[in-house]
Amino acid sequence: MPARRKLTTTATVTVTGHPRSPKIALLSVLPGPSEKVNADGGIYVAEYGKNLPVEYIIYDDASDVGTMVRLTEKLILEDEIDILFSSCGTAFISAQAPIANRYGMVLITAEGGATIMREALPGLPYVFISLSFSDHYQLPVFADMCAAAGAETAYMITIADLHGVEYGGGYWPTRAFP
């Protein structure tokens, strides 16, 4: 096993371009936890019998899937990261998941849908989806919240990309408030 000097976590984030990622807020807070962890001696890794410091690497994908693909491969192959957090949006996750899986890199998703990927997920064992299913997490929960607040109708605006198709495509016209 090669010697490790640090644990590296990372993400590609839309800092420039449109739409800008909700992860931009993370840019201001990510250093905090790693600084605390590192001040406390790092994270103990049994395979190495020692604590390793944590480093975060963030790259701007400029809201471009092709740029995100290149940066994801750079993070895995050149920066030799240990864990990858997803870019933002359904199209980005759909493109990033097969790359992470091909290289055996753990990918933890956040913003973006995975409903359209459901059938592919058993073949993507390195991809961990966190609450990214529009058909049984986000939209149904939002509809229940609207109904609980007494709403009888709702209006939804989506964007004309894969994310908007997944979140707006067919759910609301068939959903009746209780």
Confidence tier at 133 by pLDDT (50, 70, 90): low
Beta-bridge partners for 43: 52
Alpha-carbon distances, residue 146 vs 131, 141, 158, 163, 169 (angstroms): 19, 9, 18, 22, 19
Fold of 7-131: Rossmann fold (3.40.50)
The pTM (predicted TM-score) of the whole model is 0.73
Residue 123 tokens read as 């073949």
Residue with more model confidence, 141 or 8:
8
The rounded distance, in Å, linking the Cα atoms of 81 and 142 is 35
**Tens digit of each residue's pLDDT (9 = 90 or more) over 91-121:** 888 899 999 999 999 998 877 667 778 888 8
Name the most confidently modeled range: 69-73, 87-91, 153-157: 69-73
Q: Coil, strand or helix: which one is 137?
A: helix
